[in-house]
Amino acid sequence: MPRLLKTHYSAVVTVNGHVHRLTVPGHERLLTTLRERLHLFSARYGCGTGHCGACVVLVNEEPVPSCLLLTVRQQKNRIQTLEGLKKDSLLAQLMTSFAEEHAAQCGYCTPGLLLSARHLLKTCPSATESQLREELSSHICRCTGYYAPLRAIAKVRDSYAVD
């Protein structure tokens, strides 16, 4: 009978303003913790290798694929998921614009797109079309061909710039 090594560690993660003290395997990814332990389903598995962006969350306000992060290394980070940004006005505008443009077809990729779009418009409110595309290129959306999300984000950017 092989002996399984002791693999669990205590971890402190701050998600959407709540501090969670957990005991997790050393290799557990943040994506798993968010979904299975905290039931935050806006981070989604698409590849597990950092290529699809479906699992993107904000780590200290930066969009990062949570499938590449180890939960035990997050004690100093502030993590935000879509669920925690319900009151964010920019995000609300983006969501309305996505809904109007039919930019979420299956919707699986959408939380990631929204977080990246919000990040871009925050850091660069008058982002050019090519910056928008660049930002979205860390996400795969198989349904829309990116047209509708790009339109939706550009619409918010334009109304933002006017305000």
Partner 1 sequence: MRMWPLSTYPRYAPDWLDLHPEALIGGILEAPAAPARCAIDNLEELRGLPGVETILTASEVPCYPFTTAGQPEPEPSPYDTLILNPLSRYPGEPVALMAASSLDALYHIRQRAKITYEPWYGPLHDQHPNNVAEAVHYSSGPAAPSEADSERFKTTIHVGRVSHMQLEPHAAMCSFDEENRLVIITTTQVPYHVRRIVARALNCPVSRILVKATDVGGGFGGKQEVIVEPWVAILAVKTGKPVKMMLSRRQEFILTRTRHAATLTVESQWHGRQIREIAMSADVETGPYASHGSTVAHNMGLKSLPLYRAEAYHFNASVRYTPGPVAGAMRGYGGPQGAMAVETHLNQVAARKGLSPWCLRHKVLAQTGDALDIFTAASSFKRIHHTNLRNLLSRTRDAIGEGSPMATGEGIGLAMSMQASGVPGSELAEVSIGVDEDGSLFVKTGAIDIGQGARETLSNIIYDALQLPRGHVPISFSMGQTQDFGFDYGTYASSTTYVSGLAAYKAAGIVRRKMESLARSMMRHSELKDTPLSECWTALAHSSFYGPRRHPVMGHAVARPSDSPAPYAIAAVRLTVHDNGELVIHHIVIGVDAGKPINPRGFRGQIEGAVIQGLGYALWEELELDHSDTHVLNPSLFDYALPAPQDIPPLDIIMAQTEDPTTPLGAKSVGEVALAPIAPAIVGAIFRARGIWMRTLPITREKLWNALMAQRETVTPS
Binding residues (CB under 6 A) for ligand FES: these are: 45-48, 50-55, 65, 67, 104-109, 141-144
Q: Tell me how far apart the alpha carbons of residues 33 and 40 are, in angstroms, rounded to a whole number.
A: 9
Minimum Å gap between C-beta 53 and partner 1 is: 9
Is residue 50 within 8 Å of residue 67, measured between CB atoms?
A: yes
- Of residues 10 and 133, the one with the C-beta less far from ligand FES: 133
Q: Tell me how far apart the alpha carbons of residues 161 and 163 are, in angstroms, rounded to a whole number.
A: 6
Give the position of tokens 């798993």: 32
Q: At what angle do helices 147-162 and 110-123 cross, to 10 degrees?
A: 30
In the chain, the amino acid numbered 158 is D
- Of residues 61 and 129, the one with the C-beta less far from partner 1: 129
Q: Which two tokens stand for residue 144?
A: 């829309």
Q: Which of 19, 22, 20, 121 is nearest to 9 (CA)?
A: 22
Minimum Å gap between C-beta 68 and ligand FES is: 7
- Of residues 77 and 81, the one with the C-beta less far from partner 1: 81
Residues found near partner 1 in the complex (CB under 8 A): 1-2, 4, 7, 25, 35-36, 39-42, 44-49, 51-52, 54, 81-83, 95, 98-102, 104-111, 114, 130, 132-134, 136-137, 140-148, 150
Q: Which does 12 bind (CB under 5 to 8 A by kind): ligand FES, partner 1, none?
A: none
